[in-house]
Amino acid sequence: MSVIYVLLTISIIVAILFFVAFIISVKNGQYEDSYTPSVRMLFEDELVVKTTKEKTPKINPTK
């Protein structure tokens, strides 16, 4: 039954991995601005659409 050591080690390693991921994300400033990325992810391509003079349906990401 010493497999319990293996299981415990694996579970703790997985937990520690997530914990390290959390620390890294805080260090990278992911928690400093939690609003702008949510708006930004809805943009990106608009510029191309406009240069081809196509009418784009109006979207309103803030509402």
Between CA 40 and CA 45 the distance in angstroms is 11
Chain positions contacting another protein, by CB under 8 A: 1, 4-5, 8, 11-12, 15, 18-19, 22-23, 26-27, 29, 31-36, 39-40, 42-43, 46-47, 49-51, 56, 58-62
Q: How many CA atoms lie within 13 A of 61 on its CB side?
A: 11
Shortest separation between residue 44's beta carbon and another protein, angstroms:
10
Phi, then psi, of 53 in degrees rounded to 5: 60, 30
Q: How many CA atoms lie within 13 A of 34 on its CB side?
A: 3
Shortest separation between residue 56's beta carbon and another protein, angstroms:
6
Shortest separation between residue 63's beta carbon and another protein, angstroms:
9
